[in-house]
Amino acid sequence: MSTGTVVDRGLEGVVVGSTVLSNVEGQVGRLTYRGYDIDDLAPNATFEEVAHLLLYGHLPNATELKAFKAELAARRSLPAPLITAMQAVPKTAWPMDVIRTVTSGLALFVPVNSHGEHVSDVHSAIELIAKMTTILASWDRIRRGLEPIEPRTDLSHAANFLYMRTGKVPSEIEEDAIDTYLVLLADHSYNASTFSARVTASTRADIYASVTSALATLTGDLHGGAASATYTNLVAIGSPDKAEKFVHDEIAKGNRIMGMGHREYRVRDPRAKHLEAIAQALSKHMGNSKWYPIARELENHSQRILAAEHPDRKIYANVDFYTAPVLADLGIPGDEFTGVFACGRIAGWTAHILEQLADNRLIRPQASYSGPPPGPFVPIGSRK
């Protein structure tokens, strides 16, 4: 590529493909899945309905939903050797490392064809959706020195996830909280992890390899790691009255305020209001836990101070911001938040992978070369 080429670092605003799965309208703050506004889906549809919508193209009728839920439930258990492998892992291992590795390991228990490929279809997608929560809940218990709990087939996806963590069927408010969270996180167009999954799928790698790519990409704190980082901030702040000083100190140190800002949204992330309402309700349910009040103050001060710092850049709360108080009040450790994100986004990842495979073209961009010009090879004896 010639010098002087315009380089789109970060691909901001660059359209690299199309999708029918979800649409992010950043200027107005609207997110739709196959034409359905998340403002309608969050209060009215379960995660199972949304996963069906993404994978099959329509909201299920009652018969379809029953069959979909039955298939999800039947696929929840993990191969026993993967549980044994997790039990052999140091308890200090980072949850996302475990989740990524065990998800990749699922492929070992699925037959391959003569080319070493696994079938990538809607059933393998359901398999991955079903097992992601089991992997996370099992690791949570194993790292705490407890036996993993076998999934139940009579509970919803959300309720079973919380049940596998504690052995207790969750209250309605807890089940609804995690269910709505999973709905809100299910898809978000060509975000970094989904794009990564599509790049991998575009090489005609299978769904297990592509999801493993997505999990690796989700890990960083500019993407799925931001909720954990927000929780770390809430802990450091400690009480609502300390939030303002915290923001000033972070900015003075040149740090970013985690959970604030978005590549696409120039208004508040449309998912934030739903998560804020859940955080507020859960805080009350938990006897006025402190996480929501701290988060509320942190958002107020962050928004005001960042507006003064960056008058041309609209920086508002994103989806990860109120994820932190929600998951904290559900008793989930901060370092597992990215894993819970994955439990929602796996629905979108798998739908995008199948969409990519159905109409594939290898994704292979160019780079502007900025190294030295061509020169002679230097034999080893002549090197300095």
Positions touching ligand COA (CB under 6 A) are 10, 222-223, 226, 256-263, 306, 310, 313, 315, 318-320
Active-site hit among 140, 179, 320, 329: 320
Q: In angstroms, give the least distance from the CB of 321 to ligand COA.
A: 7
Closest to ligand COA by CB, 304 or 313: 313
Cα(130)–Cα(132) distance, integer angstroms: 6
DSSP 211-258: HHHHHHHHTSTTTTTHHHHHHHHHHHH-SGGGHHHHHHHHHHTT---T
Q: In angstroms, give the least distance from the CB of 118 to ligand COA.
A: 31
Closest to ligand COA by CB, 159 or 260: 260
Q: In angstroms, give the least distance from the CB of 193 to ligand COA.
A: 11
Closest to ligand COA by CB, 38 or 226: 226
Is 97 among the residues known to form the active site?
no
- Indicate the pairing of strand 30-33 with strand 22-25: antiparallel
Cα(180)–Cα(246) distance, integer angstroms: 30
- 21-344-278-290 Cα dihedral, nearest 10 degrees: -140
Q: In angstroms, give the least distance from the CB of 332 to ligand COA.
A: 18
Q: In angstroms, give the least distance from the CB of 177 to ligand COA.
A: 20
- Measured at CB, which residue is nearest to ligand COA? 261
Which H/E stretch holds residue 299? Answer: helix 291-309
Active-site hit among 262, 269, 274, 352: 262
CB 260, CB 323: distance < 8 Å: no
Closest to ligand COA by CB, 42 or 192: 192
Closest to ligand COA by CB, 90 or 365: 365
Q: In angstroms, give the least distance from the CB of 199 to ligand COA.
A: 19
CB 163, CB 182: distance < 8 Å: no
- 367-369-371-375 Cα dihedral, nearest 10 degrees: 130
Which residues are paired to 33 by β-bridges?
22, 36
User: How many CA atoms lie less than 13 Å away from 238 in the CB half-sphere?
Assistant: 4
Hey, what amino acid is at 61? N
Q: Which tokens sit at 343?
A: 């439990």
Q: How remote is the C-alpha of 292 from its chain's centroid?
A: 21
Closest to ligand COA by CB, 29 or 105: 29
Q: In angstroms, give the least distance from the CB of 50 to ligand COA.
A: 19
Centre a 10 Å sphere on the Cβ of residue 296 and count the other Cβ atoms it contains: 17
DSSP structural state of residue 265? -
DSSP 96-144: HHHHHHHHHHHGGGS---TTS----SHHHHHHHHHHHHHHHHHHHHHHT
Is 157 among the residues known to form the active site?
no
Closest to ligand COA by CB, 10 or 145: 10
Hey, what amino acid is at 234? L
* Catalytic residue annotation: 262, 320
